[in-house]
Amino acid sequence: MAVEYQCTIKKPVSVEGMGLHTGQKGTMTFHPAAEGHGVKFRRIDKQDQPVIPANIEHVVDTSRGTTIGINGTRVYTIEHVLAALTGMGIDNVLIDLDMDEIPIRDGSSRYFVEAIEHAGIEQQNVEREYITVDKELVLENAEKGFRLCIVPADDFVVDVKIDYGTSVLNVQEAHLGSLDDFKTEISPCRTFVFLHELEFLLQNNLIKGGDLSNAIVFVNRKVSQDELDRLATLFNKPKVKVKDEGILNNLELHFWNEPARHKLLDVVGDLSLLGKRIKGHVSAFKPGHYANTEFAKLILQHKKLK
């Protein structure tokens, strides 16, 4: 097999936007980094500008996204940008951030992929290292309903299946046979939410940066026009209605199985917290940030015991 080398970006590039949950506006800037540097976030808005490595040991919360932290400083919702870096083959980068949370943009990885393309990709002089497994590893939780497994493979392959037990979002599957397909098949896929979850988040002062342009909203119950009008006012839209397929008319789906593809995007992003590329076939049923990061810990523990 051909030798693969680590890569960074050729020049700095920035992405501006608002944090989904915090509502903070700010800028995230990617900088080239040396071989072996890995992916690290630097909070330039803090006095001592702490640097937080994007690895599994620094995960501090997975409730509404994946959050890393060190000594009380955190970076929220990192999964979409980490997926973009992995999908575009970037091993080493320093990411400056002047707020608590990664800009949500449209709820996908597309804007981060475009920024990396704009910066350009530079091959470095050190070989890329991989995480491999020599047997099947399984993480299963009957109470939470998820199951993730990995088996040996020569490439990184991911299969995802979701089932929310509702007719508006039927059982869906998504497949990524090669990271070469990430840009076109996975990166544009946006996050999604059920209407009742949206209401809960709003009531609990979350999604301050949500504006109906960064999530697919599924409606799995009857909704009055008064309620739809209230949502329209809340999100500064002239009118909100429920389309025949059971989603709000805030956007059009990129793929019929966009939710499953987005869950696959999250798996790619969260597993990149291992710090090295994976060679293995990952299958995930009802994955989420907690399940993904616990699975990453299981893989890491297996490597340490070898």
Instruction: Indicate which residues carry an active-site annotation.
Output: 289
Q: How many residues would you count in the chain?
A: 306
Residue 99's contacts (CB-CB under 8 Å, 6 or more residues apart) are 19, 22, 24, 25, 26, 45
Q: How far is CA 269 from CA 6, 48, 55, 225, in A?
A: 18, 27, 11, 38
Q: How far is CA 77 from CA 54, 67, 93, 108, 278, in A?
A: 12, 6, 17, 11, 22
Helix (H, G, I), strand (E, B) or coil at 157: strand
Helix intervals (H) in 88-136: 110-119
Distance between CA atoms of residues 75 and 99, nearest Å? 8
